[in-house]
Amino acid sequence: MPYLWKAGIPVLVAAVVYFLPVPEGVEPTGMRMLGIFLGTILGLILQPLPTGAVALIGMAAAMLTKTESAARALAGFANTTVWLIVAAFFIAEGFLITGLGRRVALLFVTRLGRSTLGLSYGMALTDLILAPATPSNTARCGGVVFPVVASLSRLEDSHPEPEESRKRLGAFLTLTALQVNVVTSAMFLTAMAGNPVAQAAARDFGIEISWGRWALAAMVPGAVSLIAVPWVMSKIYPPTVDKTPEAPDEARAQLREAGPMSRHEWIMAATFVLLLLLWCLGDFLDIDATTAAFTGIAVLLITGVLSWKNLADNTSAWSTLVFFGVLVGMAAELNQLGVIDWIGESVAGSVDALPWLAAFAILTTVYFYSHYLFASNTAHIVAMYGVFVGAAIATGAPPLFAALVFGFIGSLFGGLAHYSSGPAGVIYGSGYVKTAELFRIGFLMSVLNIAIWTSIGGLWMKVLGIW
pLDDT digits (tens, 9 = 90+) for 203-221: 989 999 999 999 999 999 9
Each residue's pLDDT tens digit, 320-334? 788 778 887 888 888
- Residue 464 pLDDT grade (very low, low, confident, very high; cuts 50, 70, 90): very high
The answer to whether residue 360 sits within a structural domain is no
CA angle 83, 89, 91 (to 5 degrees): 100
Range list of H helices, 156-194: 163-168, 170-187
243 — phi, psi (to 5°)?
A: -120, 135
- How far is 464 from 467, CA to CA, in rounded Å? 8
Reported as type and span, the H/E element at residue 91 is helix 80-98
* 134 conformational bin, left if phi > 0, alpha if psi -120 to 50, beta if neither: beta
Number of other residues whose CB lies within 10 A of the CB of residue 190: 27
Each residue's pLDDT tens digit, 16-50? 988 888 888 888 888 999 899 888 888 877 778 88
The answer to whether residue 430 sits within a structural domain is no
DSSP 115: B
What mean pLDDT, rounded, does the chain reach?
87
115 — phi, psi (to 5°)?
A: -135, 160
The answer to whether residue 302 sits within a structural domain is yes
| Share in percent of the chain as helix, strand, coil (round to 5) | 75, 0, 20
Residue 274 exposed, middle or buried by CB count within 10 Å (0-12, 13-18, 19+): middle
- Residue 265 pLDDT grade (very low, low, confident, very high; cuts 50, 70, 90): very high
8 — phi, psi (to 5°)?
A: -70, -40
pTM of the predicted structure, to 2 decimals = 0.74
- How far is 413 from 419, CA to CA, in rounded Å? 11
3-state secondary structure (DSSP) of residue 156: coil
Estimate to the nearest angstrom the gap between the alpha carbon of 421 and the chain centroid: 7
- How far is 56 from 60, CA to CA, in rounded Å? 6
User: How many domains does the chain fold into?
Assistant: 1
Q: What is the mean pLDDT of residues 104-120?
A: 82
**Could you tell me if 56 and 77 are in contact, meaning their C-beta atoms sit under 8 angstroms apart?**
no
Per-residue confidence (pLDDT) for residue 3, from 0 to 100: 67
Peptide bond before 355: cis, by omega within 30 degrees of 0? no
For residue 216, the enclosing domain spans 80-196+211-315
Q: What is the mean pLDDT of residues 342-357?
A: 79
Residues of the chain with pLDDT > 70, as a percent, come to 99
The answer to whether residue 279 sits within a structural domain is yes
The answer to whether residue 171 sits within a structural domain is yes
- How far is 140 from 317, CA to CA, in rounded Å? 14
Per-residue confidence (pLDDT) for residue 2, from 0 to 100: 62
- How far is 148 from 254, CA to CA, in rounded Å? 11
Nearest Cα to Cα of residue 17 among 4, 2, 29? 29
Sign of the four-CA dihedral 298, 302, 304, 309: positive
Q: Three-state SS string across 385-426, please?
A: HHHHHHHHHHCCCCHHHHHHHHHHHHHHHHHCCCCCCHHHHH
The answer to whether residue 293 sits within a structural domain is yes
The answer to whether residue 36 sits within a structural domain is no
The answer to whether residue 412 sits within a structural domain is no
